[in-house]
Amino acid sequence: SQQGEEDPQALSIQEGENATMNCSYKTSINNLQWYRQNSGRGLVHLILIRSNEREKHSGRLRVTLDTSKKSSSLLITASRAADTASYFCATDVGGNNRLAFGKGNQVVVIP
């Protein structure tokens, strides 16, 4: 079963705007990561947040984690056309050597 589920599924924004997407999960986790996938390409790791962290920044990316609500959000500030991609959250449930991926969030940034 899918551990993570992103919401909303698709987002279309103007260049320069911020993009926010959410991910929920069902069981306790050790960490949560976000990946980006450009059309027709493999996934690229963006950022990881551990279960004992609440917020993390990396460049224009800001990730939050609320373990009480079992949810995370990814914010991309000042979006660019190159940010057009699908974004996936992935969780490390721990103890089973696996990453469970969500269904993905498609973001289109209009120049």
Partner 1 sequence: NAGVTQTPKFQVLKTGQSMTLQCAQDMNHEYMSWYRQDPGMGLRLIHYSVGAGITDQGEVPNGYNVSRSTTEDFPLRLLSAAPSQTSVYFCASSYSILRLAATGELFFGEGSRLTVL
CB of 15 to partner 1, least distance (A): 27
Beta partners for 63? Answer: 56, 74
Structure tokens given for 76 = 């991309």
Question: How many beta carbons lie within 10 A of that of residue 57, not counting itself?
Answer: 11
Q: Between 1 and 52, name the residue whose CB sits nearer to partner 1.
A: 1
Can you give the binding site for partner 1, defined by CB under 8 A?
A: 1-2, 4, 30-33, 35, 40-45, 48, 88, 90, 92, 94, 97-104
Is the backbone peptide bond immediately before 111 cis, with ω within 30 degrees of 0? no
Q: Between 15 and 22, name the residue whose CB sits nearer to partner 1.
A: 22
CB of 55 to partner 1, least distance (A): 17
Tell me the torsion sign for CA atoms 38, 9, 101, 34.
positive
CB of 66 to partner 1, least distance (A): 18
Structure tokens given for 103 = 């269904």
Q: Between 40 and 111, name the residue whose CB sits nearer to partner 1.
A: 40
